[in-house]
Chain A
Amino acid sequence: MREASRPDLLEACAQEPIRIPGGVQPHGALLVLRPDDLAVVQASANAADILGFPVAAERTPRIADLPLGGGTLLDDIARWSAGQDGFYLKAQAIADRMFEVSAHRTPQGLLVEFEPACDLGDPSETFYPVLRDFLEESEALPDTLRLAEAVAARVRRLTGFNRVMIYRFDEDWNGTVLAEDGDGALPSYLDLRFPASDIPAQARDLYRLNRLRIIPTCDYAPVPLVPELSPLDGAPLDLSFAALRSVSPVHLEYMRNMGTAASMSISLMVSGKLWGLISCHHAQARRVGAQVRAACDFLGRMVAQQIDARERGAEVTERLRLHQVQTELVAHLARAPAFQAGLVERAVQWLDIVNAQGAAVLTEGTVLTAGITPSAEQVAELAEWLRTQKIEQAFATDCLSRHWPKGLDMADVASGILAVPISRLHASFIIWFRPEVIRTVTWGGDPATAKQQDAAGRLHPRRSFESWKEQVRHRSTPWREAELLSAADFRVAVVNFVLQRAEERAQLSEELQRSNKELEAFSYSISHDLRAPFRHIAGYAQLLAEEEPGLKPLSHHYLEGISRAALSAGQLVDDLLHFSQLGRASLKTSRIDMTKVMEEVRHSLDATETGRVIEWQVGALPPCWGDPSLVRQALFNLVENAVKYTRGCDPTRIRVEGREEGDLVVYTVTDNGIGFDMAYGGKLFQVFQRLHRPEDFEGTGIGLALTKRIIDRHGGSVQAKGAVGQGATFSFSLPRHAKGKGRGDT
């Protein structure tokens, strides 16, 4: 026996070697026979008492020497032993008493169990109608719950227990009483939940192997085996499949705490997994015969198959439903300009495809959400964590905080998450959320009473209950298989969209490149083929004027008009070309000495504007960083404008200066010329936008646009201030230092 005072009894319980308890329950006897000669090698110490004659296993008598029903049993067992059947079961009279004799093979010998028969009449009359009725009735039962109720009632009818429950495990092996049939002698446990620790792992393993267990009374003293160890291999006898196997004292304590004297349980195996139990309890000691137990086992198997079929059917139905929702959603997304926005538009379906309460889609740093979700920042943080998880297909949990401690902060809305990655390159995910579901937990029986009785600290059902309560916090309803499949399907659809969009983008950029090339070819032909005719027109007009000096003044005027028109058209083409080249050509940047540039600009302007007196005020011009020829052009255009629009002003004053502002140098060109109306300020830098009549001021109107483009390409900005008749101030900024790879610097 275990030490009763150990406080960690429950933990110890999980370690207990329940397959080799070293003894049997006292209501029957066990003999272990050597397979080759059927000699008795081990026996339960009560064998002589139960069977009514001495069994001295230590002297290894042959079973033939025992008075076992006049040789019939011996022959039967010898025949069974030589055959293929796994189990043997037969009612047999021994020493004028009826026994149910069962046997099974083990590596340690044939285990033959003898249980005094319970009087239940003719099995074919008792069991057959029950099984047949159940089979007929179950067809019409719509779901697992009704099925469970029906089977509980049938098992109670067969066994006469006070209470029969159908107990279902969840994915963490916590259990719920799904259905119950009882006579009121024991309290109802319907809908109560029990923590996984109530049935430790090794017990569940055994439940899988041996589907039926019976404890006729919890107040028994186990009967030891003689000898203690198997003579065949020297090891303790494995009683995994023995009906008489003695159970853990902790379990007996548990039964006593629940007020249950006798119990029987039948494993429900669905799709090879332990799905649940048919659990029978009785207030007093109660024994059920092997035949009845076999019938119950049969019923258990029948219902397990029915449940399997029902659940598969429900799963398929659900899968079809989700698929239909998804099909509609995908069709919508295919028409939407962007799948992200399409998802938000169809939020209901988006949530429905996995039965979630919230969802988010993250692509390239943007977060779009629908339904009940954590904040966008939290979602982004979650995605960052997900990225580190290297998810291939999907990540699903009903308890996020178990995987990611920070998940606790969003447990109320996102205890459950289902995430699918939708890009290999970016941290792009679709994530669905489920809120925390705090389960109402009620302990079967009175835990307070259990604790009172627990003066010796034997059992702590209350404690296990507390730990379970902790375990079910921060959890959502679990994700079903159909939902996970639906998410996986949807991921494929979305990945296809993403790929398709990427292809379209690639195609678009190809088209852009092609059209850029075409533009280049176009500007080339403008350069070459359009300039030539203008030149020819101007040339011929000039030649004509020279050849015919005697032309009438009006004719001469006309010829001049032709020349001028051709010239300005030619100038326009040149300016246009220059402007378009600026968009294409690369910047060749270096440090620029603006003082020197200004000197050059002044020099070239002085050469054209002869005969004018201009008061130049050139202040400090700090150096900057850029493409020297372009920057020169930009400054030239502004200074040239200043010179142009001060024509007729006396005196003409033009001030050029610069100052450093952070990482920029700002240059200003101020004149006292005709100025401009600020109402047109915005148009000033547009291509071919002129504010003056061509006969007043020459030019194609491209100079300022060119300057703006140059400054833009350097990452600077241009500004203009002015008033009509009061001059104008143009300023532009350029970087002071070389940057990494500046924008447009390609």
Chain B
Amino acid sequence: MRPFKTLQKLYDEESQVVITEKGSPPRVLFHGENFLQEDLPVGTRVIFPRPPLAGVPNVKAAIRYAINHPEGMEPLHALLKPGMRLTCVIDDISVPLPPMVTPDVRQTILEIVLELAADSGVDDVHLVIANALHRRMTEGEMKRMVGEKIFDAYYPDRYYNHDAEDPDGMVALERTSHGEEVSVNRRVAESDLIVYVNVNFVPMNGGHKSMGTGVSNYASLRHHHNPKTIRASDSYMEPKTSALYKSNERIGRNIDKHLKVFHIETALNNRMFGGPTDFLAKKEEDYTEGDRLKFQAMRFALSKLPRAAARKVLNSVPAPYDVTGVYAGATEPTHAKTLETSYKQYVVPVEGQSDIVIFPIPFISPYSVNSILNPLLVQVMGLGYFYNLNRGVPLVKKGGVLILLHPAYDEFDPEHHPSYIEFFHRLLPETRDSMKLEHKYEREFAENPSYVHLYRKGNAYHGVHPFYMWYWGENGRQHVGKVIVAGAENNHVPALMGWERTDTLTEAIEEARGFMGRSATISLLRIAPTVMVDVK
């Protein structure tokens, strides 16, 4: 007989994959700002996220331990010298999703680091948000992220967003062996020590990507944020299979050669839902009567609210994430440890690929916090992120069908996504070919003075960002045979994307079976919380 520990492990792995039977309950599925409750065909494989790992018992102690016992570097206190120039670079609002309950782990890390810096006689300290070409965070968001005390002491002169378009604000370092440009924020480049404060929400982030992307500019990013690199990536979530990460690695190693970067990385568990929405983390088989009542009440309330109000409600529920690990030190050994913890939480082994895969698309993405999940972001969630939530082998077979659940409304936020509007309405009708879009229009959007102004002075994503969103879906687009949006409320959005639409999930499955054959296998990735598949 197998030992109990092995049995337990097997049970844990197996229990994340449920095969739908006749008596299986209907599944609760995200559908934008509301939910669907759908019966799935018998035999459908439903892949659930792992239950949340236990958090570290004392986050502050874990941070202190990590910075005192770093990987491949001296302890932080030994690196701090009186009179030195210190810059803390911080992950932006795109992680985690939804934003975590306060105090954010970034605040906890900064409180410890800044106190240590002050004790070491380091007064010249700046806090730079590594927003790359993302939108600038608003004052309120910045305050929430680091807490009132730090905000009041540092904002706005010493706590600010990185500006990739500041003509005097960037420094070019030597190119990589592949000729990739390496540009970093001037303050960062001129610092004696950089402390990178990371929240590793998905395995794609962290490591060399932190500095290689976060404080860089368009000139540097275009070397890996392009269709060719994306096509060469099997998965963004596994560094070994990601051409994107390899390019960042080359850039990051160059940065490490010239600058002293001390990384503090944190892994989070899967506790995305708490309080009134905690049932969303459960399997439907485990719902209590109370859970069912809560779900119906929530669904009814959301259906009665105008979409903007529903969005507001959903965005206002923070996630009670626990920190499962804190690691610090040099880029590569630190990130290796973070990835290990991250995979422990996210990876679910599954047997074989499926012909048809269903992705419920929730109301939020890394690029739409406090904003609207516009059609390009629906695309990036489905074909970009969810498709890539694997370790090199996608869940859907080559030429298979992806079914996305989302209303696919034609709504954009002109304040956050102004260039998306032009991209979607002017470029996509002309071509969906990433290579052509890159060649013909990318630079024009990147340099458009209006978009640059909105990025620098407003809260807009950089003019080139919608291109990156489109490229992000490139390996998914190349792989699948068809995409169907179930529950799309119009025809033109799916048509512009090159997708088909149906009113219901049942119709979408029928259509997908018509395309793949009656015996087609079906999988549902029951996101959110986050789950990654390891396809054997």
Query: Do A and B share a complex?
Result: no
